[in-house]
């Protein structure tokens, strides 16, 4: 007998439409697939017993063809300096990766998720880049990071997800978009599309594709330098996808979405906080609204340092002078290596929970 297509599928890797198309020989339509999604993601259960409209025979057949594994939480660690918590997960094949629980103002949480184990892109200020890439994560492995946090307290719902953990989301495009759909779906994790943020360092063809496909999630370009030569030294991918082309793609994206250009900026003292950067940003994005999120670099190796207050202040004034809107973002959990750029599958510091 030949292999059954979709054997050993993971039900938490599917939207209703992809599940309904997975086994053409089974009487599984989208309505039933929606109820299955509600069971395995909405209700976070593994068994399908009692799903309305699902016969015992079909339930047994789906059970035989699927393997709904879970991630093992190897370590859960609270920061001593702020209310951030980091999770270290182990996948069934032994791969390690992390997620960070971010407190929001009202009693809610956001989760910063990994899209890959490690990362191939080697940005010089990022520890994940020093790990290299182990592999892409499956959609269920991304969804499960959020479900793990959600399980911790119904009184504190998860209302936001940001793809800014280990990995470059647009190098695992299909699985990231699938995971976002499952997280957003009313039968899935029910997180608003505008509360899901995908952050890229600039995979140009995927920015174009993402814009053409019209997804509702917020897109942020982690630019960090507007000057091509400098950026190419910080973010090696910039040699393939230059700043001018990225800026044009982000302008097109903002126009298609009717919103601002969202940028992230890792501030490094003496490197990318000068008036030259602000001027170039003003030139690249003249006539469009920009929302730039500035965060201090976190580099445990000590090679890069955040700017002091005076340098940061000068940078912010220069941004304002050049018409660039900005907010300063706090990247928490530095002591547990949960801050942006420090995810390297380690368990140190803080308090083990
Ligand atoms: S900043 Fe992002 S893209 Fe760059 S190495 Fe780190 S994880 Fe990869």
> Using a 6 Å cutoff on CB, does residue 223 contact ligand 1?
no
User: Which of the four pLDDT bands, split at 50, 70 and 90, describes residue 353?
Assistant: confident
What pLDDT is stored for residue 9 in this prediction? 93
What pLDDT is stored for residue 338 in this prediction? 78
Average pLDDT estimate for 207-229: 98
Tell me, in angstroms, the distance from the centre of ligand 1 to residue 92's CA.
24
Tell me, in angstroms, the distance from the centre of ligand 1 to residue 254's CA.
23
> Using a 6 Å cutoff on CB, does residue 122 contact ligand 1?
yes
Task: Identify the residue whose C-alpha is closest to ligand 1 atom 3.
Answer: 168
Annotated catalytic residue within 112, 123, 126, 340: 340
User: Which of the four pLDDT bands, split at 50, 70 and 90, describes residue 1?
Assistant: very low
Residue 3 has pLDDT above 60, yes or no: no
pLDDT > 90 in the chain, percent? 83
> Using a 6 Å cutoff on CB, does residue 129 contact ligand 1?
yes
Counting from 1 in the atom list of ligand 1, the atom nearest the Cα of 235 is 4
The mean predicted confidence, pLDDT, of the chain is 93
List strands edge to edge, sheet with 158-163.
325-328, 290-296, 261-267, 218-222, 196-200, 158-163, 108-113, 96-104, 85-90, 72-78, 351-352
């Amino acid at each position: 007998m030949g292999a059954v297509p979709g054997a050993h599928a993971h039900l938490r890797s599917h939207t209703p439409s992809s599940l309904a198309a997975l086994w053409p020989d089974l009487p599984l339509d989208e309505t039933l697939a929606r109820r299955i999604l509600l069971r395995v993601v909405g209700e976070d259960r593994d068994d399908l017993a009692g799903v309305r409209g699902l016969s015992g025979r079909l339930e047994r057949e789906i059970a035989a063809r699927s393997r709904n594994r879970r991630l093992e939480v190897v370590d859960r660690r609270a920061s001593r300096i702020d209310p951030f918590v980091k999770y270290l997960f182990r996948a069934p094949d032994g791969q390690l990766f992390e997620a960070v629980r971010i407190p929001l103002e009202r009693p809610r949480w956001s989760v910063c998720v990994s899209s890959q184990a490690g990362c191939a892109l080697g940005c010089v200020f990022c520890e994940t880049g020093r790990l290299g890439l182990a592999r892409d994560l499956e959609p269920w492995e991304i969804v499960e990071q959020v479900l793990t946090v959600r399980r911790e307290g119904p009184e504190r719902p998860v209302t936001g997800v940001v793809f800014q953990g280990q990995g470059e989301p647009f190098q695992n495009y299909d699985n990231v978009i699938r995971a976002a759909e499952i997280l957003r779906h009313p039968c899935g994790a029910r997180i608003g599309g505008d509360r899901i943020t995908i952050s890229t360092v600039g995979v140009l063809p995927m920015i174009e594709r993402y814009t053409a496909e019209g997804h509702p999630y917020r897109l942020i370009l982690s630019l960090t330098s507007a000057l091509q030569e400098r950026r190419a030294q910080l973010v090696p991918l910039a040699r393939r996808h230059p700043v001018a082309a990225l800026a044009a793609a982000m302008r097109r994206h903002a126009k298609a979405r009717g919103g601002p250009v969202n940028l992230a900026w890792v501030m490094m003292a003496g490197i990318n906080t000068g008036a030259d950067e602000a001027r170039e940003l003003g030139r690249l994005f003249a006539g469009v609204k920009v929302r730039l999120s500035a965060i201090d670099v976190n580099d445990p190796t000590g090679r890069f340092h955040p700017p002091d207050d005076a340098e940061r202040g000068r940078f912010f004034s220069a941004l304002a002078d050049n018409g660039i809107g900005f907010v300063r973002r706090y990247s928490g959990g530095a002591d547990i290596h949960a801050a942006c750029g420090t995810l390297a599958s380690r368990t140190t510091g803080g308090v083990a929970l």
